[in-house]
Structure 1
């Protein structure tokens, strides 16, 4: 057949290049489904040879014609497209085409998504397909590894692409209420420095307690969010980060002293924070603490809020002076307006003072002097740092 083509060229089209004739001859063989014969001629003939790039291009173009003309995912054209691509099994470009066919005909249907080749052709960004799969039915987002594999088959193989897929899964998990998976993925994305997920990281960090989520993990997510957030969110996120930083320091002190303030308790190797949702919660916890009963003038029979606040202010006066701010705010106003500060002053500060009175915790901290002329203990100097953090 090739000899007939050569003879035809010599007699009718001598001005045509021999390589051009071979290209068109191979194209015809591929379109006719003569793949074995095409394999031989794609390697070249005695008088002319095709470059690898041109041969690959012919194979890919023919495979695409078969694939995009398929009316279903099981018709003969799909098989022909695969057979065509098998002519160059070691080519990266050809393998990329084969991966797309694998994704559309096998992987996506396994996850309940059917996408015909002609529909795929109209999609410009493969990420749209990933989003389609994730939201196709409840629980589809749980197939994290499979979704990443499909993304790679569709050409989303760079580190940024994979991070974008993980972000999409994390957001869908959060919407579905699967905060544990969202948290795990947020930690991975924060480590990768994937900045666009900062808002979800911030929300997860300030959300409910989850397995394997300690205070350090929350602080890490908030720190990441602070690095990438918009200008309007900086102040709010920084305050939240500071709160977790203070809590970490507090937990370290609890572990080292094997003691806890009234709003915490030890549960095995974990330190659990009790919910404090109102001023009354604070006072109830304060009443239940034997440490505070002995370290302040508070008595359980006193129920007047004024007495509660007076006792707390007396405790504050042992570690700091009452100073007017630019707005004229004093201890009393700050305690009534800032529940976090009230909680610290009512529950954690007395605990810290009690620690500072115990000799085993009274290691001198050079350079931190109190009005009496003595040096603060490590617990006392820690009181000051926490106090500043809550103001």
Structure 2
């Protein structure tokens, strides 16, 4: 039996108890939820957004008596998709007597809804021409039924919410329901593409304009990451040793990338030993090798102006307008000026507090910088390129 298991999870959302350094964000979400406010939460992909939301739902149920429902809207393309996702979310999260009451109500609607195996998804498979809209209306009204079943406040999270923007009229349909539910439900609209989230919530002629408190999920603090990594190493009979500082420097507070690097480092260190810089270098190389196909596909998905602008950002240490970088890449300031908003809208880059721009994913930034073939010591990684 395998008992010495790598404690660093990076390939999926982690359980609530393993969320690192998000107590303040969870507390903010719950204060808004209890107060009846709606929140739009933005975080780049792989920032631990879903793990944070799961933790907030867990804590909200335990400490505030909220009925939490997490709806995954990733890549929904139709009203039918949204209806199925919403039905499945309620089926997953409702339990006990409340589930029975809701199931009874859904069956009485006569539109084919169920929290069991024979709900709207099964009916749509049997009859693809079936109109899912009546079922969606019934599901969107469920918070009112929850309140009527015992005074429960629903805490509903729409994850990857930006994808509903691809479905004509759906944001208006949603608003027509939630605008009457402030006393019985709280909503979090979470997304990972800032351009689409701004389009939905900051465009005056869109139905959801100004309807939710903005909240951005930031990077993790080095101190919290250091404590988490060191404790996990210690608990498994290892020490992170001198490899901790270069790991933190390269991860740059990026939650998923920090866990990936820690996972790879842990795998290099035998039980009873302390990590060395040689172990760190091997872990770094292994991580970059693992990510090579992902980064190659990401790079090929950009147009030439986007690719050159990313290279200019790394060449200019955050400033893509430096003359030497523009000359080397055969790039003009006008091309960069047009590319920057597109790259920011898809969360490839972000503005730095100190000025200039940075690539959101620090490992992708290192990968891009290698294309520039600069023979310099990378102080962040401890590896000479």
TM-score (norm 2): 0.24
Pair member with larger Rg: 1
Comparing both structures, which one devotes a greater share of its residues to strand?
2
Higher relative contact order (CA 8 A, sep 6+): 2
TM-score (norm 1): 0.23
Comparing both structures, which one devotes a greater share of its residues to helix?
1
